[in-house]
Chains A and B, each alone.
Chain A
Amino acid sequence: MQTSVRPAAATPGVRRAARGRSGQWAAWAFLAPVVLYLLVFYAYPLYRNVELSLRNYTVRSFVQGDAPFAGFGNYAKVFADATFGPALWHTVVFTLVSLAFQFTIGLALALFFSKSFRLSATLRALFLVPWLLPLIVSASTWSWMLNSDSGVVNAALGWLGIGPVNWLTSPDWALWSVIIANIWIGIPFNLVVLYSGLQAIPAAVYEAAALDGANGWQRFWRVTFPLLRPVSAITILLGLVYTLKVFDIIWIMTKGGPSGASTTFATWSYRLGFGNLVPSFGPGAAVGNLLIVMALVFGLVYIRVQRRQALT
């Protein structure tokens, strides 16, 4: 996306036009498989999700396929629902807090591992192990550890003389507990992508900075951080998209409870559409689409920032 807005290379007029046309052919030939792939595999589900949210589906019309058109009725229902306000707030808190910690910790670890030392490659690989576990297992393990009565976290707090915290069963703590688990799950992603980003920075740049007498801290802010910006931006953007979507961790740990205290848009959408004896597909899809709109907004912000950077 950066490339499309980059000023074109300065080549003489006529030759440039000719090359440009054949260049476009080549460029789109390379893109063709992915475009085809997107059309085949994403267009239909996306269309389905929009269609589900605009019709008044009951279980019967879901099966028969004859649901009446409802316009924005499902959206109105969702906006008017008492869950809307708290769920929006929880989504924002969950996403921003998770992102901030995941990125900061991930970057710190990437910097730490970027200087090679004994076992560094192996330890770095081990940091990915949380991703190997099916979410039902890792999320269940977290709820095991955070259990009010038999959890190891409360046991440890007990040894320190701190009273038990009802991590998952108190409305004040449930959201923070799922955020902690989500940060844990997100660290490997940030670590690995940012680490690759650090590796792509040429060593010569550092050498020059060292010659200028910059200390470690200055080198980070003046050299590493600016050069890492494109990778950081995409990492945060992808992290944002993935965090907005998170539902399994919350669902397994708290089911969005107690009494809605950890309900985000993603778990709400799932509860409406699938986590129920009688699914309400319409409102479920409507909430899902609101999430897509949120990601869209952040995507546009990202592109604007990219554009400004490309111009400066």
Chain B
Amino acid sequence: MRHLKTVLGLVLTAVMLFPVYWMINVSFTRDTAMRKSPPDLLPLDGTLDGYRDVLDQQLPYLGTSLVVGLGTVALTLLLAAPAAYSLAKLRPRGGGVLSFVLLIAQMIPGIIMAMGFYAIFLSTGVLNTVPGLIVADSTLAVPFAVLILTTFMSGIPEELLQAARVDGAGVVRTFVSIVLPVSRNSLITVSLFAFLWAWSDFIFASTLDQGGDHQPITLGIYHYIGNNNQEWNAIMATAVVASIPATVLLVIAQRYVAAGVTAGAVKD
């Protein structure tokens, strides 16, 4: 029975990841075979040219993307976790309005946000810098993080917090030593998305960091997108290479999303 589930899981994952496989397939394909009809299912007569280009040129971009992704996660959690705690448990007057504003804030088109940031960043001197890009990318995640964390923190049993209060813990201590540990799962979930959004952001990077010394991988891809021509095997190869370290991070992070954190805490 357990094995059956594993097999089914593997099949589902394979279906889901077929487009990813296709991307890998194209990354090995020669220009002359790219539009072959019907297409080759395996890149047997492939080329490594795409990868040669990528390994020569793209590694610094990967480093920047990692820094930007992790920085975005840190900034997002720092801003969102206290806010969510407040909205979920401290009953601020006007909290509903704020949640609503957060929801609407996400509707502003990215390109308009980018144009606004351009003016702000130019005058503050953070245009074309990594911290600037981190701040911009965090706007993709902060409203989401606050809303999601609020939902999850609302589910923390009141008894747990009251017990802490009886023990004489203040609001801050309750937050740090009770709420945060109990919210581990949702914090990881939020971090995952903050990281992924920052990792795959293109619009902010292209508007705010195109002249920078340190550029993320989404801009690195533009090495292969010329004004008249695109090198698709190198573009796909970049995406493949770029997703390897990030996938490892994801697998590790997912292992920490564990069952019953809240439940266990209540029982104790």
Chains A and B directly touch (beta carbon < 8 Å) = yes
Chain A-chain B contacts (Cβ-Cβ < 8 Å), number: 319
Across the interface, name the chain A residue whose C-beta is closest to B222: A136
- Measured between C-beta atoms, what is the minimum distance from B192 to chain A in Å? 7
Q: Report if B73 contacts A (CB, 8 A).
A: no
**CB-CB contacts below 8 Å: A95-152 with B:** 109, 112-138, 140-142, 144-145, 147, 149-152
* Interface contact A2-B152, CB-CB below 8 Å: no
Residue count of chain B within 8 Å CB distance of chain A: 110
Whether A129 contacts B20 by the Cβ 8 Å rule is yes
Is the pair B82, A130 in contact by a Cβ cutoff of 8 Å? Answer: no
**B-side contacts of A121, CB under 8 Å:** 251, 254-255, 257
Known: A4-B91, A34-B146, A122-B251. A27 touches B86 (CB 8 A): yes
Q: Using Cβ atoms and an 8 Å threshold, which residues of chain B touch A52? A: 112
- Counting chain B CB atoms within 10 Å of each CB, which of A137, A150, A245, A285 scores highest? A137
Contact (Cβ within 8 A) B9 A42: no
In the bound assembly, the distance between CA atoms of A38 and B139 in angstroms comes to 9
Cβ of A193 under 8 Å from chain B: yes
Asked if B127 is at the interface (CB within 8 A of a chain A CB), the reply is no
A230 within 8 A of B: yes
Q: Mark A185-202, 1 if CB is under 8 A from B, else 0.
A: 001010011011101101
The answer to whether A8 has its CB under 8 Å from any CB of chain B is yes
With contacts A155-B37, A155-B38, A299-B103 known, is A200 near B262, CB below 8 A? yes
CB-CB nearest in chain B for A145 = B22
Q: Does A27 lie within 8 Å of B96, measured CB to CB?
A: no
Q: A129 and B250 in contact (CB under 8 A), knowing A184-B19, A274-B111?
A: yes
Query: Do A244 and B107 form a contact, CB below 8 Å, given A141-B26, A145-B22, A196-B257?
Result: yes
Chain A residues with a Cβ closer than 8 Å to the other chain, count:
107
Query: Of the candidates B10, B247, B262, which one forms a contact with A132 in the assembled complex, judged by CB atoms under 8 Å apart?
Result: B247
Chain A residue nearest to B88 in the complex (CB) = A3
Asked whether, in the complex, the Cβ of A266 is within 8 Å of the Cβ of B109, the reply is yes
User: Interface with B: A168-176, A254-262, A288-296, which one?
Assistant: A288-296
B181 to chain A, nearest CB (A): 14
Query: Which of A28, A30, A234, A247 has most B Cβ within 10 Å?
Result: A30
Q: For the complex, is A222 an interface residue (Cβ under 8 Å from B)?
A: no
Q: Give the secondary structure class of A's interface.
A: helix
CB pair B10–A123 under 8 Å, yes or no, is: yes
The answer to whether A202 and B257 have CB atoms under 8 Å apart is no
Cβ B13 vs Cβ A41 within 8 A? no
Asked if B125 is an interface residue, CB under 8 A from chain A, the answer is no
> Does B72 count as interface, using CB distance less than 8 angstroms?
no
Within the assembled complex, what's the spacing in Å between the Cα atoms of A213 and B110?
51
Query: What residues of chain A lie closer than 8 Å to B85, measured between beta carbons?
Result: 30
Docked-complex contact A119 and B79, CB < 8 angstroms? no
Known: A30-B86, A121-B254, A152-B41. A132 touches B246 (CB 8 A): yes
Q: Chain B's nearest CB lies how many Å from the CB of A164?
A: 10
Cα(A117)–Cα(B148), bound, Å: 27
Give the shortest distance, in Å, between A140 (CB) and chain B (any CB).
Answer: 8
- A303–B98 Cα distance when bound, in Å, is 12
Contact B79 A230 (CB under 8 A): no
In the bound complex, CA of A33 to CA of B254 (Å):
29
Distance in Å: Cβ of A122 to nearest Cβ of chain B: 6
B129 at interface, CB cutoff 8 A: no
Find chain B residues with CB under 8 A from A132 CB.
196, 199-200, 242-243, 246-247, 250
**A273 touches B (CB below 8 Å):** yes
Check A123 against B39 for contact (C-beta < 8 Å). Answer: no
B48 within 8 A of A: no
User: Are the CB atoms of B35 and A130 closer together than 8 Å?
Assistant: no
Does A237 touch B at the CB level, under 8 Å? yes
Q: Which residue of B8, B104, B113, B155 is within 8 Å of A200 (Cβ)?
A: B155
Q: Which residues between 69 and 123 of chain B lie within 8 Å of chain A, taking CB atoms?
A: 78-80, 82-83, 85-96, 98-113, 115-117, 119-120
Could you give, for residues 197-211 of chain B, a 1 whenever the CB lies within 8 Å of some chain A CB and a 0 otherwise? 001101000000000
Query: What are 13 A-B contacts with C-beta separation under 8 Å?
Result: A2-B150, A26-B90, A27-B95, A117-B5, A122-B251, A123-B13, A126-B247, A127-B16, A128-B192, A137-B235, A145-B19, A150-B35, A196-B186
By a beta-carbon cutoff of 8 Å, the part of chain A in contact with chain B is 1-6, 8-9, 23-24, 26-28, 30-31, 33-35, 37-38, 40-42, 44-46, 48-49, 52, 109, 112-138, 140-142, 144-145, 147, 149-152, 155, 158, 184, 187, 189, 192-193, 195-197, 199-200, 202-204, 230-231, 234, 237-238, 241-242, 244-245, 247-248, 266, 269-270, 273-274, 285, 288, 291-292, 295-296, 299, 302-303
9 nearest CB pairs, A to B: A45-B116, A27-B90, A27-B92, A30-B86, A202-B263, A1-B99, A155-B38, A4-B96, A125-B254
